[in-house]
């Protein structure tokens, strides 16, 4: 039994909707940006979606090789900078039309005050022994970027201080006072380098987020520190259950999902000096674990469609964590569908969620409808575009039929739908049916790619009484993008589509 | 109401099936091979299908510029050859992994005995004033090809004398005696150039084909002329009805379609010296008119699937006329879907029939089933591949359900189906729904291309009692390709597809 | 014995120089723009040089298939338009970042008043029987372009009426009164279509140019016709001597070359209403024959370097005729170096003149020196760029040494020279040495391409007393581009170039 | 003052010469093969040179992630394999037409008996705690490769046990007895996996090489172990002198260079059971330090040309260490010309030595001359190809003129020379003149690439008395490749190269 809902759009409707889904996207650690597969996945994403900024960890981690020590002639330890890999990474970003959202972290070993690390790749998460060493490095890196890429470009790259300092995994003892010191030293050093830089924090996530945010804002306010934007993360799901290498999570309701974000908005606005300040959600996804098969599903695509329809209301941006599956926080994945965060699976296979983003990218125009299951915009030339999703998330979902009525401005329209659902675009299932191969052959990769595309259909709509009426059926966990464009049928001399259909009956020879 | 048919394959079944669909393909006139769009369409075709030879008209026509006249010092007319374009065309063929099936024709104006022409591009179809001039030119061209491409290559390129001399449009008065003279002079000259060349004819089509073929064979036999293969064309449909620029045809039954070909086989075999000789069907399609919308339909794809299952039984090859829609016999087309012969529409949009060929290319192995609606082969490693088509051709067609039972050699298989039917892969309909635009925008072209792909689905099949049982439903005019491959499910540590599906119900936060 | 000249540039020097070499370039007839080889040559040119507009003949000629006639139901002749090829051509131009400079011509056969044609490809050059038919066609084409490419784009494409009407070859009897009628009808129709269009003429060349231009201007003035720019051609060389297929010409002096252009400028400025109006030289080259080996030589490159240094003084643009060697006015060429007009020989081999244009493209900045053999500009950041050429044109030329002194703004510069001369970059000689092969093998093409590049050398210049002193030697018919950029030597820790050079003597093991 | 030498080749000369330069090439550690820049450099190398095998360290090192440990349900440590990166690397090799020469090493940390590491990337070089663990891993990897790439392919990939065990840096205490144990366990395990595998060692280099090789052979002989080939390295130069980050070395004489290799050949042949066995020199270069500017020079190219002419005499292959400069043994390089081992500098700039290899690749045919400064071969069709180098290596070198006389088989030849010397193809100098920039701009990279190509010249040679006489001048540290091909001059009708040169004098207009 399918559910049925009606959507009725009035002439002149104008609904607030802030589509900022393409401002920023997350990435595996910066050193992985040297990889060919990383480049190719990002290329796919940029061609179909086109983000403006990219943010990942590890700018100062070992494999970027940015800061080095050596013994000088006198035998004492000296420091020097190596920008070879940083430039190679940024060059490839620019080549792909994307720019860095700079996260300053983690701690180079020789200047670290402790030995605590995070991740398979062992990022040191302790404060510096001497803040001077840290700010010298930050300034050296920023000056180098200005030299190479030009001040007018670099000052547009937002700078964020550290990552999730309220999590003991990411900052020793989650010592917020120490973080405030880090922020203070860093923000002041950044602005000394060039007052035009845009600086923000505190990049917190989960655990005591409200308290941590409040004390951060109070500290900044009291000390009158530079602060150009607020950043935080949002991961709202039940705690994952682990089995072997994998994590299984339950999703929260969409409303629950937005609660912490709404509170942050309120909190920030409660400070007079921060009211209305940009809040960048510099990470989010449906789970916070990079080995969670949920990310590879159609459910994830539908759920994300719901999130994107509301995300811009109170926040300046929201960076899906991450664009692709080149990601090693828990080590190198064993299979192509390992539940990574990415929109793109390894071997450049787009996951269903990839299409959710590609669809949202098309929604530029005046919003005329927004509800729990749909968003529709009108383009200046009079066409409509919309995204629909089945809100009955999960495996017991029922089909959802949406009956949509829109004001017609032309006599005829062409309706094109692009459908992504468990039947027509479900690479996870195809891979499973193949026997869950760990290592894809070329033929398997090619098949998975050819399968992982929306199903496109079209229909001619004739309007009566200035109304367009369409009815679209969403399978469980399905997402549909539609485009309703004006068409004027003008057939060539003697061309008759009806005759083509009618006339081709079988004859006698 | 759908029809149901059962297909039962016994263990060890071995059915004769000669899959020679990739031997040769037809092309618009040779001069068009200089076009960028031609190259790109051929590239698509070669990548997905990969033909060995390509045959088109116009080797000696004006735009190839091969033979030129000038006044020499004494003021008398002299002849010289210009191989610039010929080489450019053949180079591009070789670059795409295809080689010419050389059709010798039509008549250069300065050596023609009359003024009759055919086509928008005005090919002269009259005999030469002097056969010596003609054979000099043929020999010069062949010698040049040997010089440039090497004897060992060039002698593998079949040579066919003229095109459809039994049609008054293509040979003045369809004068067969004159054709026999042309054949005689040409064949002897070719063999004088190099006895290794492969020469054939008479390239007839329709109209009195049996009589013409018989007299040709008698002539060759009587005169003991060289003859390495027989060639003919096959276009079997009701006479087209014209409306404006377009032609509408009715198809014959499949059995009717093969009648003339069968007769030619019998006739050839009735000559002792020609018994078993290769017959190349150097042209065929569902109609003989290049402005027939039928060619763009799913019906065409299903009908062609039926043809290809039987075509190799008695013939060495059969060249679909043509690979692409760069073709000007009736002038430059006005729209991207003008009913051209091609598997590919202009702007590199694959038509449904493109996929029929791409599917047949996969059928390399032992045939285990062949019927009016299906063909199935077994691969050496034990997988099965098949093509199914709905034989209830035309607009009133009913769905056809095929229940297939195959001998199982493994416990589990992965069934992958690729479906091309009027719902999921029908660029003609999408273009029609767009309003039949004459000139596509980039966005329209991109949409049409994204739509024009098979719908891919998968399923895991568990076998019991050494039987695989699958049931596939064909929509009217639908074609399905399937692949049944052995799979061994080996899940990674902790990975459970069932749990992914089951577990992701919505929770409370 | 080489000649020596000194060039002395004072601080603050500012010399007038208008570098408009990249505004427009000529092309073989529009129908050839469908060819793959044409596209690839244009791609090379656009990547290295980058022109804004492209102009060629044949918009209305048969192979573009733009206007077609048919019998309508009543049996009378009707007209319809086919924009398939026009769109394909313009799409490929836009794809390559170039736009059409629209030349309206020649006459479609069915509306022509006579049978006179020009070129191997038989363009009809007679006036229309009925001007209404002609202007209907012009308007239909322009309206179509606006529909497809947008008004804001299309009104920036200049429109020129016909080609060289003062030459009897190109306009029946060179009847200028008839041309004025053509211009009047056309210009008015164009402006009726959209007053934003830019219209010009008379596109004359050679023969009585002054008288024809004067009477054209008088006519336009008297009739108050629209006129947005003046156009003419310039081909100044001794009459060619023909031998077999080829033409040999002698060049005029550079001063003689500019005389007709200067006179046109004066003449135009003598009309009050046309004073200062843009004059587009819509064609020029060193000869007016498309089979003149001169075009393939280094002499041509040096001579063109001299022309480009002065060309912008009085004219808005000057379109080298032509960018590439896909060109069939006298038929299809027999060899890759047939003396075609192009900067690029067939098979995408750049000729020496290609580099003259690529070098001039770099000259963006304040001119500080211009003389008969050199032009030098200063870039905003303080570097210098210049082009030098040996003015002792021809086979008995002597080397020319140029001693250049420039004001230094930094302590050290890096001098990079790119040299194109008969020794280091002379594909014509290499092809000749190969035995003048008519049809290149892949290996020969590759060798010719690898050879046909400038020889690049570098040198560090230390400045004393704020002077840069360099001395460059030009071989006969040589062209040198130089770049003098500030360098600050900063060696890495322990890196010593001197030690590398010094230390690597051979040892004992 | 230039030196002059004469080279006289007699008719029928046939000189032994084994050109095996393309069998194998060295590479930075395997994990770096994931990098985009690595792929692009290898692509360049494969397109211009085309090696069959590639060998690098690090198959079992951390960043390949091949072997992993985890706690199983019972809480005890278990081992599992992750072939994701291995497959990605090998796939990219195969994509580039190259296959792995498998070096088994180094030691995964969890199975190592000690903590000693080598390189910036910390490869553990201690024996395994338990040889069973090691051989299990080797077998697992080989079995996986067979599964994925097919037995018929994988058994052609040579397998070498460890790297330089006679160097204490690479094997703890250079304990050869322990190495023999490693070899024994490994070789037996490999052959148990598949007796078709090709196994070899001992991969020694320098230090006590003769003694180590002898004891290895004795051990293998005594134990009757499998051994399919011998491997060693050859680095013969004076000890480098270090300054800052860089090493400066003196080269040995060419004769000294070959001494250790000759001795190894003798030694191997002195064992009856190993006589004539293939010796693969799996590493060599002009120095053994990866930060030695010598590698970037023209001297290196000339010296390598001398080596390659003799290398095949006694050895089956010799793998230049390394193809490119993506290499991190001493950390990430600071500049693009850091003295890396590669033929290609970072940013895909070919070094002079790249061309030495590209030239040698052309030498396929019968050798007719080989001397200290030249090698010449005759191709089956009668052309000659040769490589010349200036043996007066180093900075005080004099020009060398070579007068070559060859037997002529045709009346005329085309001589094409490709020159690489310090003037025409010296990217190191151009980079130095630019100020030794650490980070290249796009424009700098493009300029360096355009400069780093051979200078190509041509000449027509007429032969008299069946002799070809040519004279070529080598600048210090210069290398010249020449090709002498038969040409038959056949000019087109009316085409005269002499007239082109002669006739283009300046006229009056």
- Which chain B residues are within 8 Å of C82, Cβ to Cβ? 331-332, 334
Q: Which two tokens stand for residue B339?
A: 């009913």
Residue D166 has pLDDT above 90, yes or no: yes
Residue A485, classed as helix, strand or coil, is strand
Q: Do the Cβ atoms of B148 and C82 come within 8 Å?
A: no
Helix axes B209-223, B176-193, angle to 10 degrees: 50
Residue with tokens 């319809």: C80
Query: Chain B residues with CB-CB distance to D under 8 A?
Result: 70, 80, 493
Separation in Å, CA C165 to CA B6, C183, C208, C262:
76, 11, 11, 21
Contact B290, B56 (CB under 8 A): no
Element of type H or E holding A67: strand A67-71
The answer as to whether A503 is a domain residue is no
Q: What is the mean pLDDT of chain A?
A: 95
Q: Are D240 and D386 members of one domain?
A: no
> A450 CB contacts (<8 Å, ≥6 apart)?
B453, B454, B456
Q: Are strands A479-486 and A384-389 parallel, antiparallel or unpaired?
A: antiparallel
Domain boundary among A319, A335, A361: A361
**How far C80 CA sits from the closest chain A CA (Å)?**
10
List of E strands, C174-261? 199-204, 229-234, 241-243, 246-248
Residue A301 has pLDDT above 90, yes or no: yes
Phi, psi of B18 (to 5 degrees): -115, 105
Q: How far is C-alpha A176 from the geometric centre of its chain's CA atoms?
A: 27
Distance CA A148, CA A152 (A): 11
Residues belonging to chain A:
509
Q: Which residue of B68, B83, B148 is in closest CB contact with C331? A: B68
Q: Which two tokens stand for residue B370?
A: 């062949």
Q: Are A125 and A189 members of one domain?
A: yes
Comparing alpha-carbon positions, the chain C residue that sits nearest to A81 is C492
Distance CA A295, CA A310 (A): 20
pLDDT tens-digit map of C285-305: 999 999 999 999 999 999 999
Phi, psi of B464 (to 5 degrees): -130, 145
Number of H helices, E strands in chain C: 12, 26
- Which chain A residues are within 8 Å of B497, Cβ to Cβ? 293, 428, 432, 436
Upstream peptide bond of B202 is cis (omega within 30 degrees of 0): yes
DSSP label at residue C506: B
The answer as to whether D430 is a domain residue is yes
**How far B333 CA sits from the closest chain C CA (Å)?**
7
Q: Report the percent of chain C where pLDDT is more than 70.
A: 98
- Which chain A residues are within 8 Å of B490, Cβ to Cβ? 435-436, 438
The answer as to whether A499 is a domain residue is no
D227-D233-D238 Cα angle (round to 5): 155
pLDDT tens-digit map of C395-428: 777 999 999 999 999 999 999 999 999 999 999 9
Query: Chain D residues with CB-CB distance to B under 8 A?
Result: 70, 80, 493
pTM summary value: 0.96
Residue B234 has pLDDT above 80, yes or no: yes
Inter-chain contacts counted by CB atoms under 8 A, chains C and D? 225
Domain boundary among A361, A396, A431: A361
Q: Are B329 and B371 members of one domain?
A: no
Helix axes A254-269, A209-223, angle to 10 degrees: 20
Q: Is residue C184 among the annotated active site residues?
A: no
Instruction: Return the closest-CA partner of residue C158 out of C196, C184, C186.
Output: C196
The answer as to whether D206 is a domain residue is yes
The answer as to whether D293 is a domain residue is yes
Q: Report the percent of chain D where pLDDT is more than 70.
A: 98
Q: Which two tokens stand for residue D124?
A: 């553990």
Comparing alpha-carbon positions, the chain A residue that sits nearest to B460 is A433
At A257 the pLDDT is: 94
- Which chain D residues are within 8 Å of C447, Cβ to Cβ? 416, 456
B508 — pLDDT class (breaks 50, 70, 90): very low
DSSP calls for A287-352: -S-TT-GGGGSHHHHHHHHHHHHHHTTT-SEEEES-SBS---TT-S-SSS-S--S-SEETTTEEPH
Q: Are C44 and C192 members of one domain?
A: yes
Q: Which two tokens stand for residue D334?
A: 């600071």
Instruction: Return the closest-CA partner of residue B428 out of B332, B328, B350.
Output: B350
DSSP label at residue D332: S
pLDDT tens-digit map of C200-211: 999 999 889 999
Helix axes C176-193, C209-223, angle to 10 degrees: 50
Distance CA A66, CA A61 (A): 8
Q: Are D92 and D168 members of one domain?
A: yes
> B72 CB contacts (<8 Å, ≥6 apart)?
B78
A509 — pLDDT class (breaks 50, 70, 90): very low
The residue from B103, B160, B164, B422 that is catalytic is B164
> Which chains does chain C touch, 3 or more C-beta pairs < 8 A?
A, B, D
pLDDT tens-digit map of B323-368: 999 999 999 999 999 999 999 999 999 999 999 999 999 999 999 9
**How far D493 CA sits from the closest chain B CA (Å)?**
10
Distance CA A440, CA A431 (A): 9
The answer as to whether A155 is a domain residue is yes
Residue B272 has pLDDT above 80, yes or no: yes
Domain CATH for D427? 2.60.40.1500
At A394 the pLDDT is: 74
Beta carbons within 10 angstroms of residue C364's beta carbon: 12
- Which chain C residues are within 8 Å of B68, Cβ to Cβ? 331
pLDDT tens-digit map of C234-250: 998 778 999 999 999 98
> Which chains does chain B touch, 3 or more C-beta pairs < 8 A?
A, C, D
List of E strands, B41-137? 53-55, 67-71, 77-81, 99-100, 102-104, 117-118, 123-124
**How far D488 CA sits from the closest chain B CA (Å)?**
14
ipTM: 0.95
Residue C504 has pLDDT above 90, yes or no: no
Q: Do the Cβ atoms of C333 and B84 come within 8 Å?
A: yes
End-to-end C-alpha distance for chain D, whole angstroms: 48
B503 — pLDDT class (breaks 50, 70, 90): low
Q: Are D340 and D214 members of one domain?
A: yes
D294 — pLDDT class (breaks 50, 70, 90): very high
Q: Are D333 and D406 members of one domain?
A: no
The residue that leads in pLDDT, B382 or A1, is B382
Contact A356, A305 (CB under 8 A): yes
DSSP calls for C405-455: EEE--SSEEEEEEEEE-TTTS-HHHHHHHTT--SS--HHHHHHHHHHSS-E
Distance CA C293, CA C287 (A): 10
The answer as to whether A492 is a domain residue is no
Distance CA A34, CA A56 (A): 13
Distance CA D430, CA A397 (A): 67
Q: Best mutation site among A488, A493, A494, A495 for testing chain C: the one with the most C CBs within 10 Å? A: A493
DSSP calls for D455-495: EEEEEEEE-BTTEEEEEEEEPTT-EEEEEEEE------TT-
Distance CA A188, CA A194 (A): 10
> Residues D22, D24, D29, D34: is their CA dihedral positive or negative?
positive
Q: Are B384 and B283 members of one domain?
A: no
Contact A306, A254 (CB under 8 A): yes
List of E strands, D329-383? 344-345, 349-350, 366-370, 374-378
Q: How many domains would you assign to chain C?
A: 2
Domain CATH for B29? 3.20.20.80
pLDDT tens-digit map of A333-384: 999 999 999 999 999 999 999 999 999 999 999 999 999 999 999 999 999 9
- Burial (CB < 10 A; 0-12, 13-18, 19+), residue B238, is middle
At C508 the pLDDT is: 45
Q: Are B150 and B194 members of one domain?
A: yes
- Burial (CB < 10 A; 0-12, 13-18, 19+), residue B130, is exposed
Phi-psi region of D73 (alpha: psi -120 to 50; beta: other; left: phi over 0): alpha
Distance CA D67, CA D104 (A): 13
Domain boundary among B307, B328, B361: B361
Q: Are A239 and A289 members of one domain?
A: yes
SS3 content of chain C, % helix, strand, coil (to 5): 35, 25, 40
Residue B468, classed as helix, strand or coil, is strand
Q: Are A327 and A371 members of one domain?
A: no
**How far B248 CA sits from the closest chain A CA (Å)?**
7
D487 — pLDDT class (breaks 50, 70, 90): confident
The residue from A40, A73, A80, A164 that is catalytic is A164
pLDDT tens-digit map of C7-31: 999 999 999 999 999 999 999 999 9
Q: Best mutation site among A73, A82, A86 for testing chain D: the one with the most D CBs within 10 Å? A: A82
Q: What is the mean pLDDT of chain B?
A: 95
At D503 the pLDDT is: 59
SS3 content of chain D, % helix, strand, coil (to 5): 35, 25, 40
C465 — pLDDT class (breaks 50, 70, 90): confident
The answer as to whether B188 is a domain residue is yes
Q: Note down the domain range covering C185.
A: 24-361
> B406 CB contacts (<8 Å, ≥6 apart)?
B9, B368, B376, B384, B467, B468, B470, B484
Q: Are A323 and A385 members of one domain?
A: no
Residue C212, classed as helix, strand or coil, is helix
> Mean pLDDT throughout C172-185?
97
């Amino acid at each position: 039994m399918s559910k049925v809902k009606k959507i009725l759009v009035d002439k002149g409707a104008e609904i607030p909707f802030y589509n900022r889904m393409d401002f920023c996207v997350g990435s595996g650690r910066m050193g992985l940006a040297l990889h060919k597969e990383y480049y190719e996945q990002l290329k796919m994403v940029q061609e179909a979606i086109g983000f403006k900024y990219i943010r990942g960890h590890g700018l100062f981690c070992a494999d970027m090789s940015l800061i080095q020590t050596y013994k000088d002639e006198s035998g004492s330890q000296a420091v020097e900078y190596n920008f070879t890999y940083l430039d190679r990474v940024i060059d490839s970003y620019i080549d792909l039309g994307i720019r860095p959202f700079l996260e300053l972290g983690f701690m180079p070993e020789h200047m670290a005050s402790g030995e605590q690390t995070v991740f398979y790749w062992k990022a040191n998460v302790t404060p510096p022994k001497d803040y001077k060493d840290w700010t010298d490095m930050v300034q050296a890196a920023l000056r180098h970027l200005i030299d190479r890429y030009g001040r007018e470009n670099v000052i547009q790259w937002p700078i964020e201080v550290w990552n999730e300092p309220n999590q003991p995994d990411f900052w020793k003892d989650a010592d917020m006072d120490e973080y405030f010191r880090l922020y203070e030293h860093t923000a002041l050093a950044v602005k000394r380098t060039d007052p035009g830089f845009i600086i923000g924090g505190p990049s917190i996530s989960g655990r005591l987020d409200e308290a941590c945010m409040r004390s951060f804002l109070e500290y900044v306010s009291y000390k009158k520190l530079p602060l150009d934007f607020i950043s935080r993360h949002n991961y709202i799901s039940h705690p994952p259950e682990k089995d072997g290498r994998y994590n299984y999570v339950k999703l929260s309701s969409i409303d629950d999902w937005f609660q912490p974000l709404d509170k942050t908005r309120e909190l920030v606005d409660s400070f007079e000096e921060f009211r209305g300040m940009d809040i960048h959600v510099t990470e989010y996804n449906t789970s916070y674990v990079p080995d969670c098969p949920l990310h590879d599903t159609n459910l994830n695509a539908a759920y994300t469609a719901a999130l994107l329809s509301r995300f811009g209301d109170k926040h300046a941006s929201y960076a899906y964590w991450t664009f692709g599956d080149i990601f090693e926080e828990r080590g190198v994945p064993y299979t192509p569908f390992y539940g990574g965060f990415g929109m793109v699976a390894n071997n450049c296979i787009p996951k269903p969620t990839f299409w959710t983003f590609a669809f949202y990218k098309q929604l530029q125009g005046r919003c005329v409808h927004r509800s729990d299951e749909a968003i529709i915009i009108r383009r200046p030339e009079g066409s409509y575009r919309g995204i629909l999703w089945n809100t009955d998330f999960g495996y017991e979902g029922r089909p959802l039929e949406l009956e949509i009525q829109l004001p017609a401005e032309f006599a005829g329209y062409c309706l094109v739908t692009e459908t992504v659902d468990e039947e027509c675009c479900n690479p996870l299932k195809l891979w499973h049916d193949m026997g869950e191969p760990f290592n894809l052959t070329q033929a398997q990769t090619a098949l998975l790619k050819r399968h992982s595309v929306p199903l496109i259909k079209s229909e001619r709509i004739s309007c009566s009484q200035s109304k367009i009426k369409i009815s679209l059926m969403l399978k469980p966990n399905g997402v549909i993008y539609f485009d309703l464009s004006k068409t004027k049928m003008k057939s060539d001399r003697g061309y008759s589509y009806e005759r083509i259909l009618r006339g081709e009956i079988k004859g006698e020879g």
